[in-house]
Structure 1
Amino acid sequence: MATPRKSTTKSKSTVKSAFKPYTPKKGEAYMGTKQKNHFKKILLELKGQLGADIDKTVHTMQDEATVFADPNDRASQESDMALELRNRDRERKLIKKINETIGLIEAGDYGYCDCCGIEIGLKRLEARPTATMCIDCKTLDEIREKQMAK
């Protein structure tokens, strides 16, 4: 009979950013100091939450490193741990992208499309603060990816 097992995936990613959307003043220049600070704050908060999730996972996996005698329990535990590690790897990659984005803010290059150079837009950046392409260029990029995959 299978032994009841503890779930290692209880720490689902709780990365939520409760920030107030930025409302630009009339005549305010795009990506001025206030806007840059707004996005830097969002990125730093997100980075902190991701880091805390990664640390929590490490401690959880150390605490729950039980060896099960039943092969099915052991397989389930290994599967859960593998899934958790894949999620944390994605979060590490996102932290790297956040660090790169903070570098763009500090260099004064944040908020402009890498492809065409136009403004990405405040709403898109609030939805995805690490965006490096405007919605039009990103859409074209995704279409090209789909065509190359065929």
Structure 2
Amino acid sequence: MLTEEQLLAAPEDDYMNDAQLEFFRNLLLTQAEEVKESLANARAQLASFENEPDELDKASIEEERRMALRFLDRQTKLLPKIMESIKRIDEDDYGFCSVTGEPIGVKRLLLRPTATLCAEEKQRQELKERNYRDA
């Protein structure tokens, strides 16, 4: 299996070859397991919160609960993205922008393996959203 260094050193014309796809599949499968484990831990943490009679303790516990719920929400949204990325690998569609069809790039995929947009398209969409909000 490729290392991250070998992946980054690969020529651009060999983009998303079988070895690279295997690297990202393994990375995504590992992330999926980590997310499932963290979801189980977050759910257990939420279940363990008790009602405290002391107002200060209540506020502290409520803040911890809110943070746990935000974490749970983010992780719950991440898992389907990971599974969709694995599906894109199976369909030989992984690593290419869903809008332009251009390569997303190995560096970007290492930072965000679930990316579906190339950096340029992501910037265009963010700019469009910013302009829409400001209007």
TM > 0.5: yes
Superposed CA RMSD in Å reads: 1.9
Relative to the length of structure 1, the TM-score reads 0.79
Aligned residues, how many? Answer: 131
Moved more, 105-114 or 75-84: 75-84
Distance 2:96 2:39 in 1: 30
Out of 84, 87, 107, the position equivalent to 1:103 is 87
- Structure 1 pair 69–104 and aligned structure 2 pair: CA distance change class (3 A): same
Partner of residue 89, structure 1: 73
Relative to the length of structure 2, the TM-score reads 0.87
| Structure with max Cα Rg | 1
Whether 1:60 aligns to 2:60 is no
Structure with the greater relative contact order (CA < 8 A, sep ≥ 6): 1 or 2? 1
More helix by share: 2
Distance 1:25 1:136 in 2: 22
- Structure 1 pair 26–131 and aligned structure 2 pair: CA distance change class (3 A): closer
- SS of the equivalent of 2:14 reads coil
Q: What's the % identity of the aligned pairs?
A: 31
Where does structure 2 lack aligned partners over 5 or more consecutive residues? Answer: none
Distance 1:86 1:26 in 2: 40
Distance 2:47 2:103 in 1: 46
